[in-house]
Amino acid sequence: MSQTRIEQDPLGAIEVPGAAYWGAQTARAVANFPISGHGPHPALVRATVQLKKAAALAHRDGGHLDATIADAIVRACDEILGGALLDQFVVDPYQAGAGTSHHMNTNEVIASRASEILGGARTPGDRVHPNDHVNKAQSTNDVFPTALRLAVLEQAQPLLAAMGGLADSIEGKAQEFHHVVKSGRTHLQDAAPIRLGREVGAWAENVRRHVARIGAAAAECAELGIGGTAAGTGLTAAEGYREKVVEHLARISGLPLRSAPDLYEAMQSLRPAQALSSSIRDFALDLYRISSDVRLLASGPSTGIGELLLPAVQPGSSIMPGKVNPSIAEMVGQVCARVIGCDATVAWATASGQLELNVFFPVAAHALLEAETILANAVGVFDHKCIQGLRADEARCADYARRSQQLVLALMPKLGYTAASGIAKRAVAEGRTIEAQVVHEGVMPADEAARLLDPAKLAGG
C-alpha cells in the first residue's frame, strides 16, 4: 500500500495516509485541531459505533438500505466494538463545534471497512458511502448528543459499582471499629466521646446516598434524541425509524434506553449531562472530605492524631528515612479536584447552547467522561488499597477519650454549666484529666467519678 492517497470532500482534494481507514474530512480535522494530543474517549467511540450499527439495522428492517450494504456496516461496527481499528479514531476532543469531526471520523472508518468487506478498496465511498449509507437519516445534530448520553450512561455503571463497593468496605470497617471509643472533635477541638465505628459508618451512609443520586441522574441520560436529524425536524428519516433505532440500540448496549419526548429539547440542551455531572461533583466534594478525614485521623505517627493506621503502599520521602505517607488518600483528593474542574467545564458548556443546537457538546462529553473514568478508578483504588486495610490504634483512641476535656459534659446535670466549665478550665490549666480533677477538688469520690466519666458509657451504643 502506498504511503499516501488522495481523497476528495466538498472542499476539494487532500492527502491521506495510505493505510488509514479515515478519509478527507478526518484528515482536515486532524490538521485543523492539533490541540491536546488526546483522542476521543473510548466510551464515546463505542457509543457512536453502537449507534451506527443500530441505524443500519433499523434501515435494513424498514427496507430503506440495501441489505448487503447494511450487513457490511453492521459487520464493520461489530469488529470495532470487538476492539479492531480503535487507532483509527484520531480527532482531538477539542474540535469543531457540535462534534461533526468526530462524527465524520466514525462514518469514514466504518464506510472504509464496510467497503473492504464487500471486496472494495480501503477508502470511504468505494462500495459504502460515509454519508449516504453509514449516515443515512442522521445528522451530527442528533448523533453526537445521542452518543454523549449513551456514553456517559454507560460510563456511570462502573462508577456506581465502585461506589457501592466502597460503601460496603467502609460499612465493614464501621462494624469492626464499633467497640473502639474515642474523643469526638468539632472545630478540631475536643468534643463528646464517640465510637469510631459510628464516625466511619457515617461515611458509608454518605456514599450510599450519593450512589442513589448519581444513579437517578444517570437514568435521565437514557432519553435519546436520535431521529431528530437536522435541527430536530426529523427530515430524511422514514416513519418508524426513530423508534426502531432506539430499540436496536437498547439491545446492543444492554441499557434501558428510550426516545426523548421532545427531539428539539434533546438537541438544544445538555440538561441530563449537567445533572449527572453536578451529582458526580457533589460526590467528589464529600469524597474529598472523607479522604481528608482519613489523612487527618492517620496523621503522625508520633506527633499527629494517629487514631487510624493506614496500609503502607510506598516509601513516603526521598530524604526522610522510614517516612510513610497517606499516598492513596492524597491521590483521591487530587482526582476530586479534577472532577470538580470537569463539572465547571460541563456547566459552562451547558450554558453555551444557542438556538437549535449546543455546539459545545464535544468538550462536555470529554469532561464528563473523564470525570466518570478517573473517579471510578480512584474510588476502586481507595477501597482496595486504603479502606480495606485500615486499622484502629485502640490504645491511642482510648487515651484521647480518657483525656478529652469534654467528658465534663457528664457533670452538667449534677453541677450545672458554670461549675462544670470551671472544672474543665482548671483541668486543662493544671494538666489533669476531668476525672482526676473532680477527685482532686473533692467533687466526688474516685469510684463515682470513674463510673460517671466512663467514655464508653458517654459514647452510647
366 counts as catalytic: no
302 counts as catalytic: no
Q: Per the omega criterion (within 30 degrees of 0), is the bond before 145 cis?
A: no
CA distance 376 to 354: 32
Output the CA–CA distances (angstroms, integers) from residue 97 to 126, 145, 286, 349, in the order listed: 28, 12, 34, 11
Active-site annotation holder among 253, 299, 317, 352: 317
State the DSSP H helix or E strand holding residue 407, giving kind and residue range, or none if neither.
none
Proportion of the chain in helix, strand, coil states, percent, rounded to 5: 65, 10, 30
User: Residue 183 forms beta bridges with which residues?
Assistant: 193
CA distance 325 to 329: 9
CA distance 461 to 459: 7
CA distance 57 to 258: 17
Query: SS3 of 76, please?
Result: helix
Q: Which residues contact 376 (CB under 8 A, 6 or more apart)?
A: 155, 158, 159, 161, 162
Query: SS3 of 229, please?
Result: coil
CA distance 149 to 223: 8
Determine phi and psi for 65, rounding to 5 degrees. Answer: -145, 130
Query: SS3 of 326, please?
Result: coil
Give the chain's end-to-end CA distance (angstroms, integer).
Answer: 76
Active-site annotation holder among 2, 187, 302, 318: 187
Instruction: Enter the C-alpha cell of residue 274.
Output: 449537567
Contact 185, 179 (CB under 8 A): no
> 157-160 contacts: CB < 8 A, separation 24 or more?
158/372, 158/376, 159/214, 159/280, 159/372, 159/375, 159/376, 159/379, 160/211, 160/214, 160/215, 160/218
Instruction: Enter the C-alpha cell of residue 124.
Output: 470511504
CA distance 13 to 58: 33
CA distance 113 to 322: 57
CA distance 109 to 21: 5
Burial of 381 (0-12, 13-18, 19+ CB in 10 A): middle
| Residues with catalytic function | 187, 317
